[in-house]
Structures are given as structure tokens and as C-alpha cells.
A and B are shown apart, each in its own frame.
Chain A
Amino acid sequence: MWAYVFRRLIYNIPVYLTIIFVVMALLRVNDPVYAFLGKNTTQEDIDRRREEFGLDRPFLTQYGEFLKRLAFFDFSQESWSRRGRKVSDEIAGAVIPTLSLTIPALTLTSLISIFVGMISAFFRGRNLDRGLVFFAVLGMSISFLVYIILGQYFIAYLPQKYFESHDMKETWGSVWFAIQGYEPGLQHWFHYIMLPVLISVIVAMGYDTRFYRAVMVEETGRDYIVTARSKGATQSKIMFVHMLRNALIPIVTRIMITLPFLITGSILLEMYFNIPGMGKTLITAINEKNLPIIETFTSLFAGLFILSNILTDVLYAIVDPRVRLT
């Protein structure tokens, strides 16, 4: 297995280098220094900044240096828009808010939708199943923006207003869901992050439930279910032990596919709830034309995607001994 992982890593190195090359080249099509400084600057100013940022050197030199930094995880470049702040500071500051949002969201979504998918598959064709499928499709068809606004208004804003008018702002208001914002620390987690987590669960549920239901339905037709039933296994044992175990491959794949998003974060939720995570940091950097941050973040994300692809294949082999890694 380790030989396999090693080989896959080697294969993916040229791919990764190409991705970085393309990203860096694209970022330099329009003069980034000019874009950063805006229209009202003199040529000398632009030249001076270009030299300071090291963009006056040939492209390949810049590419080589960037790769060297990446190889040693040296993210000490200075952010363009906030002087004195390094790229590594930006990363360090953004990782925790993102993870505190995405890890609970992914866990909850997976658990709930696997369960609902299983129930739905179990009652296949009956009214309960039809209702669940209908709601899943309905959930898929509503824009996440609608969920955000409904959540913010009904779950956060109205209760907060109520607390304020009933003199409970200090007690309840600081615990219950905030409309938006972020403060570090575990004690503030429920206040700021729980609502985005809930919304993200609801948004993802529609698709995931349908997916897991299809997986489970696939399994119900298999021979081993008949065998288990004929030897007298209880229904719940068939569902939770036999079926779930055999359905692990698609489940693992589905979860692994979403794994890189743990880091990239839910851009939309971070933007809307004003959480200073990875997604928001990157979008801000793109708007500010903050080149070092854009470059570093994109390269890191691409690397994560590649790694998670490899990890998926390895996990295949672990959950299903029939799969050989060659």
C-alpha cells in the first residue's frame, strides 16, 4: 500500500507543478501591481513597488522561488494590503474559524443523511419514502441564500429582538444564535457558529440524502440480504450491520470528496455570517488583488484536493478488502 501511495504522489508531482505554473501565469497576465495600486498612481510608484514585491524578475525565477518556499512550507511573504502581516499569519488566523464551522457541519450532515437515507430506502415505495424523497428534491431546489436569510431572520434575529425587549440580552442574548460575527474561543462557538452549521447541514441534506438512499437501495437487492433474512437476522441488524458495512465504499467516497472543503470552507456562509475563515480571506484577497495570499492559498487548496484523491483510493482498500491497489 505504501508503495502505491508513494507512486501516486510521484505521478501527481508534475500535475501539481503544472497547476501552480498556470495559476501563477494567469495571475500575471494583467499587471498585478498596477491592479493592486489602482489607477491613480505614478509609473515610478508602480516600478518601485514592483521591485519591492520582486515582480520585476523573470517569471521562471519567481516560479522557482515560489516552489522553493512551498516545498519548505515557508509562507513568510508579506501580505500586500496589510503591511507587516505574513501570509502564514493569515493562514493561521483563518484555519480555526473555518474548521470550527466545517467539521461539525460535515459530521452532522453525514450522520443525519445516512440515517434518513437508510430509513427512506427501508420504506422504499411507501408514503414515508415518497415524502422524504420529495423533501430532499425540494431542499435541493431552494437556493442556499433563501436558507441563510430565513435562518438569520427567524432563528437569530427575531429571538434576539425578543430577548432585548424582555431584558434578557445579558443572559439569553449572548448564548443564543447571533445574527453574524465571530469571536475566538470555545465558549462563543454556539453563539456564532451553530447557526451557519445548521444552515450548511440543511443545504447539503437534500443531495446527500438522495445519494445515500440510492446507495442503500442498491444494497437491499443483494443476495447477502436474503441470506441474512433467511437465517433470521432482525431487520435492524440487517440494516445497521450488514447493509451499512457493505455500503461503506460509496459513503466513504462521498465524504472524502467533500473533505477538501473542510479547509476551503463554505465561502458563502463565511461571507454572509462574517466569519474570518479561509474562504473569506481568499475572496477578500482576490478583491484586494493581494497576490501573495491568492497564490499561496490556491496552491495549498490544489495540493489538498490531490491528497484527498489519493486518500480516497487508499480508504477504498481499507474498507473493502476486495479492492487491490495497483
Chain B
Amino acid sequence: MTPLRINVSSDVPQREALLAAASRIHNLVVVDSEAEADAIVACGDLGKWPKDLPVLQLGELSTNAPTNVYPALPNRFDPHAQAIRRRLDAGDLGKPGLVRLHVWNPASDTLNQRNKIDAIDLVQWLIGEDIESSFGTQSQANQVIHLGFVSGAMALIDFYDHLPADDRYRSLTVVGSDGAAYADDHRDRNLFFASGGMNAKPPATGHACLGPMLEDFASRMNDRDDATHAQRAYRAAETIVKQLLP
């Protein structure tokens, strides 16, 4: 198989991490110019990119994005989410009935609209159905989204971005008819006692989604897949965010 040649735009915030991830992927080669590339990884400014090249877009998807632009949907490639999805695909958990997701960031890393779209996309992707109903509410610093899915499945997501600096908390629970999976930073934390205090920190997995995300993109390019399905998932999540968290 000929490796996919990608060009990583300079506007990508995690560019170094992305290049490092790409260097490990057998069927992917990073090239320096758009002219040499089969595809582009970019963050924003869609109009700038050649219309005939596929684009993996990490930033917000513009309203008139053509079908060569793939929204990145990075949360699907988080290692915890991947592990749960494998168990769902294997049938170990049965039919998903509930997804509970807590997304907490420090004040220094405010959750933006794209972060919230990605969170809703993750829930949709795990349940594998269309959203039937939605409800949102919030307290001072905490936004809540309550979703219902066509077959009766349900989800609760909450967003909070006032944790202390450098801290971060994620908790993802999927309850299926035959079992449940719990991916929770509460379980993942290790204890460090130093300087008269105690810290509980999870091992870093911040960029672990990038490699699988690029591999998936390369695979889609190889299969000549277009971005219709990914765009549809993105738009469904975007609609919820715009309706409930304006």
C-alpha cells in the first residue's frame, strides 16, 4: 500500500504532538508542502485549502464545508473511549442504555464550543443512535446536557472549567444491557506526596488520541470514504450545543 502523504498545517495547535504521532504510523508520511500532499490536516480557515484535497479539520466546521472536509472528532480516539467501544463492538456490554460523561477543565483551559461538540459526538458514537430529545440547564459554572436517544437510551453530560490550574478530570461510564464500563480519572490517579502536600494525578494521555485519529483518517482515505457521515455526526452535536449552550 502506498503511504498517504499528509501535510500538517502550521495552524494546528498540537502540531508537534501530531507530527510525532504521524511518525509512528506505517501507512502515513508527513510532507512539507501542500503540493506534495494527498491530504491536509488543519485547524481552521477552510477556504484556504485546495478544494480537491481531503482535509482533516481539528477546528470548528464551517457551515458550508464541502464533503472533502472531515471533522476530526478526536474524543472517539481517546484510549478509554476506544477500549469501551471495542467492548461494545464485541457485544460484551450488550445494548448501550446510558452514557454518563463529566468533562472538567482548569480555568486556564476554558472549554470552547468545539470541546462540547466533541463530547456530545463521543456520546452519540458510543450509543450509535440519533438523538431524540435534549434538555439543558446550568448552575453558576456547570452546564448540563441531558439527551434521549431513539431506542430509549439516555445520556447525561456536564461541563465545568473552573478546576485549579493544571488539573483536569474526565469520567465516562457506559451502561449496557449485559455490562458496564467505567473510565474514570478518579480510578486512574496515582498519589504523590511532596513538599508537605499530596497530589493525585493520572498518567498523561493528553495526545494519545492523535495517532489513532490519524490512522483512521488514513484508512478512510484508502477506502475513498467521503466525509458525509462524519459531518452529519458533527452537525447533530453542533445543533445540540447551539440550542442548549448558546
A in complex with B:
no
A residues contacting B by CB (< 8 A) are none
